Amino acid sequence: MDLSLTEEQSLLLQTARDFAAREVAPKAAELDKTGRWPSELVARMGELGFLGVAIPDTYGGAGLDAVSYVLAMEEISAACASTGVIMSVNNSLFCDPLYKFGNEHLKKDVLTPTARGETLGCFGLTEPMSGSDAQTMATVGEKQGDGSWIVNGSKNFITNGPHADFIIVFAITSREGGKAKHTAFVIPKTAPGYTVGKHDEKLGIHAAHSCTTFFENVRVPKEMVLGDEGAGFKVAMATLDGGRIGIASQALGIARAAYEKSVAYAKERKSFGKPIAEHQAIQFMLSDMATELDAARLLTLRAASMKDKGQRHSMESAEAKLYASEAATRIAHKAIQIHGGYGYTTEYGVERHYRDARITEIYEGTSEIQRIVIAANLLKA
C-alpha cells in the first residue's frame, strides 16, 4: 500500500497547516471561552477552498479528493475543533450529497456558491424524539398538485443551523406497508415558515453553533427535492458514510493536539529531579497515545481512499469513526493525567480537547450505531 501523498495533497496539507497555525490556533481558546461564531475563519476557509474540498471546480469546489479533505480536516481540528466541524458539515453533509444526488438546478444555484464559501449549508436528520431511529421521524412532507411540497416538523442539534443559508431536511412523504418512506428537501433560510431557535449550550465545540429548526407549512418547489422522491433514506445513509470520515478526521485532530501538548509538557515538567518524560509511567501513556493516533489515522485514510476509488465504504467509515472518536477521548484523558493539576485548568488547553473529543462519539451516529453498522456488514449473507 502506497501511503505517500501526491503533490496536490502535500500542497493542500501545507496550506491547511499554515492556516491552522497562523489564523485558527491563536483564536481557539477565545472561541471556546466566548462561544462566538468564527465568521472570519469561515470566510477564510471559503477563500482557501476548504468548504468544498472534494467538489469539482465546475461546481465551485477545489476539485481535490477525500484524502485531501481528511488531511485538511485534521490540521484545522487540531487547532480548533469548532472550526473543524463547521468545515466538516459543509463538506460532508451538505456539498457531498448535493453533488451526488442533486439535479442541475441544485448543483448550479445551491452547491456552487456553497462550495465556494459564499453560502453555508447544514443537514437536518435528527429530531427531538428521533435520533438513531429515523423511522420514528415526525417531520412530514405533503405533495401538492403542482408538484411542490409542504413540509411541517422540526429538527434539532443542527450544526451550522443558526448561520446556514440552506438546510437539507428529511421528511416522511409516504408509508408503504406501515414502513415510512422519506424524501430529502433543500430549503433556504429565507423560505416562509422556516425558523431557527437559539443556539445550544454545549459541553464542548462552543463556537460551532447548533440549534433546533422549525418548519411550519414550508413550501418547497419540486426542483428543490434532493434525489428521488421516497429515496431520502438512501440519501441520508450515503451522506453519513462520508460524514463519518469527516468526524473521524476531526477526532484525529483533537487527539493529535492533546498528544503533542503532552509530549511537550512531559519534556519540560520535572518531578523527582528529572523531566517526567523519563518516568516509565509517562512513557507508557505517550506510547499508547501515539499508537492509537496512528491507528486512527490509517483507518481514516483507508476509508477516504476507498471513497475516492468509488468503492463501498460503509463499514470502513464506521470503523474509522468508531475508533478515532473513542481514541480521541482516551488520548485526551491521558493528556490531562500527564499534565496533572495543570491539565484540569484552562491554562494548557488539554481540558478543551477532552470536552471537544466527547461529542465525536455521539454525532453522525453514536459509537453504538457504528458497531451496529460494522456488525451488519460482517454478518450479512
Distances (CA, A) of 352 to 18, 251, 332, 360: 22, 13, 9, 13
Q: How many CA atoms lie within 13 A of 4 on its CB side?
A: 3
Give helix 280-308 / helix 66-79 axis angle, nearest 10°: 140
b/e sequence 106-142, b meaning 16+ C-beta within 10 Å: bbeebbbbbbbbebbbbbbbbbeebbeebeebebbbe
Contact 325, 361 (CB under 8 A): yes
The CA distance from 61 to 55, in Å, is 4
The CA distance from 76 to 30, in Å, is 16
Q: How many CA atoms lie within 13 A of 51 on its CB side?
A: 28
Contact 251, 293 (CB under 8 A): no
Among residues 74, 316, 326, 364, the one annotated as catalytic is: 364
Q: Is 364 a catalytic residue?
A: yes
Residue 274, exposed/middle/buried by CB under 10 A (0-12, 13-18, 19+)?
Answer: exposed
Contact 98, 51 (CB under 8 A): no
Catalytic residues: 364
